[in-house]
Structure 1
Amino acid sequence: MRIHLSSVFVDDQEKALRFYTDVLGFVKKADVPVGADRWLTVVSPEAPDGSELLLEPDGHPAVKPYKTALVRDGIPATSFAVDDVHTEFGRLRELGVHFTQEPMERGPVTTAVLDDTCGNLIQIMHIRA
């Protein structure tokens, strides 16, 4: 068993696509119309056949209170691995990304938390060998 698809709820799929591709560096994998919305996924350019991230519309009534509670409590919706948090933090900061947590060392793990502009906090992390 392996993870094939995970999702993050977004308030605007087009805005999310721009942020996740133009800023974070993912690439679009699927873009299929589904009524007023889209089945819209992105993948890592390093693993184009790997796990997909679904940019899922947050229209269900349960989603907005859930997202609001996570952001209010500073809890990331998901976590992405990077080679070096400090380097990625600097690159993203130069692109205007807002971080709610600057790089923090936690034993062998370094993390930082950013705002994805679509209603979520996202953690980036790396584990030192």
Structure 2
Amino acid sequence: MRIELTSVFVDDQRAALRFYTEVLGFEKRQDVPIGTDAWLTVASPERPDGPELLLEPAGHPAVKPYRDALKADGIPLLQLAVDDLDAEHARLTALGVEFPTPPMDAGPVRIAVLDDGCGNLIQLVQAVGGAL
């Protein structure tokens, strides 16, 4: 058993695609029209055969209260691993990405939380001493 796909709800699929590809550096994998939306996935160029992230439309009525509650409590919807948290923070900050939680030590990892501008908080995590 393995993880092939997971999803993140986004307010605007095209804006999310730009953020996740042009800012975070993922590659578009699938873009299949489905009515006014699309089956739209991205994946890490570092893992060509790795799992895909579905940029899923946030239109279902349950999504808004769920994401609002997570954001109000500062809970990230997604976690992404990075090799150098400080370098990623500097790179993304220079691109205008907002970090409600700047890099900090959290036991065996370093973390930071960014706002993807699509309705979600995303946690970046760097292993310290092989923790992940």
TM-score by length of 2: 0.96
Following TM superposition, where does structure 1 have runs of at least 4 consecutive aligned residues deviating by more than 2 angstroms?
A: none
Match of 1:96 in 2: 96
Uncovered stretches (5+) of structure 1, i.e. residues with no partner = none
- Once the two structures are superposed, residues 34-72 of structure 1 have per-residue CA deviations (whole angstroms, 9 ceiling, x without a partner) of 111000000001112210000000000000110111111
Q: Distance in 1 between matches of 2:115 and 2:106?
A: 21
CA offsets 1:65-123 (integer angstroms, 9 cap, x no match): 10111111100001000001111101100100000100010122000000000000000
Alignment partners' CA distance in 1, 2:54 and 2:86: 27
Partner of 2:3: 3
- Equivalent residues in 2 for 1:1-129, closer than 5 Å: 1-129=1-129
Give the drift of 1:31: 0.3
The alignment yields a C-alpha RMSD, in angstroms, of 0.6
CA distance in 1, matches of 2:106, 2:69: 24
Give ranges in structure 2 of 5+ residues lacking alignment: none
Percent identity, please: 65
**When the two structures are aligned, how many residues end up with a matched partner?**
129
TM-score normalised by L of structure 1: 0.98
Q: Deviations over 1:22-43 (max 9, x none)?
A: 0000000000001110000000
